[in-house]
Every structure is written in structure tokens, then in C-alpha cells.
């Protein structure tokens, strides 16, 4: 599984300009079963995306399609981790 941490590089007006396209990108990959969860950090200086286990190179290709990546809205930090324990309510 992957944790993708986004940290905004631009001011909020620039972020908001690309937010709808970013959310549309996320919706596409939720529908494809790639993404598990996402949302803004608190304080709102970026966001978190959880992605299913896959080849890291494939994930990087997918993320390169995100308008936040393409427009330089945020830096992306990808952390790969092995899920060894989870709540029965957490399906991924």
C-alpha cells in the first residue's frame, strides 16, 4: 500500500484553481480501484492519498496525470508500506 503526501507549493488561490480537475482525477482512479482514501491535511497545507499495492513505477505514471502534479501545485512524497495488521472494517 502507498501513502502519498502532497504539500502545496503554491498559494491557496492557485490550489483552488486546479482543485476540481484534481478531484476528477481522483474520482477516475477510485472507479478503477486504485485509490482507497484521500483528503486534505489539517492545517490545509496539502493532502493525503492512500493507494492500493501495485508496482511503484505504475503508481508514479498514474500520479503524473494528476493536475496537481502537472501544474506544479504540490510536491508528492510516496511512502510504500506493507500492511501487516488492519481493522476488519478497513477494506482495501
Domains of the chain plus CATH, in order, are 2-80 (3.30.70.1060)
Distances (CA, A) of 2 to 10, 13, 18, 26: 24, 28, 23, 15
- Model confidence band, residue 91 (pLDDT cutoffs 50, 70, 90): confident
- Model confidence band, residue 92 (pLDDT cutoffs 50, 70, 90): confident
Cell of 39: 483528503
Q: What integer best gives the mean pLDDT of the chain?
A: 96
* pTM score of the predicted model: 0.93
Reported as a single tens digit per residue, the pLDDT across 57-66 is 999 999 999 9
pLDDT: is 91 or 47 the higher one? 47
Cα separation, 38 vs 26, in Å, equals 8
Amino acid at each position: 500500500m502507498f501513502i502519498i503526501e502532497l504539500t502545496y507549493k503554491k498559494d491557496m488561490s492557485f490550489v483552488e484553481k486546479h482543485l476540481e480537475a484534481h478531484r476528477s482525477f481522483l474520482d477516475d482512479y477510485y472507479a478503477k480501484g486504485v485509490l482507497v482514501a484521500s483528503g486534505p491535511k489539517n492545517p490545509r497545507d496539502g493532502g493525503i492519498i492512500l493507494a492500493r499495492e501495485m508496482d511503484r513505477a505504475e503508481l508514479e505514471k498514474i500520479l503524473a496525470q494528476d493536475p496537481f502534479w502537472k501544474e506544479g501545485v504540490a510536491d508528492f512524497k510516496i511512502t510504500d508500506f506493507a500492511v501487516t495488521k488492519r481493522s476488519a472494517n478497513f477494506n482495501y
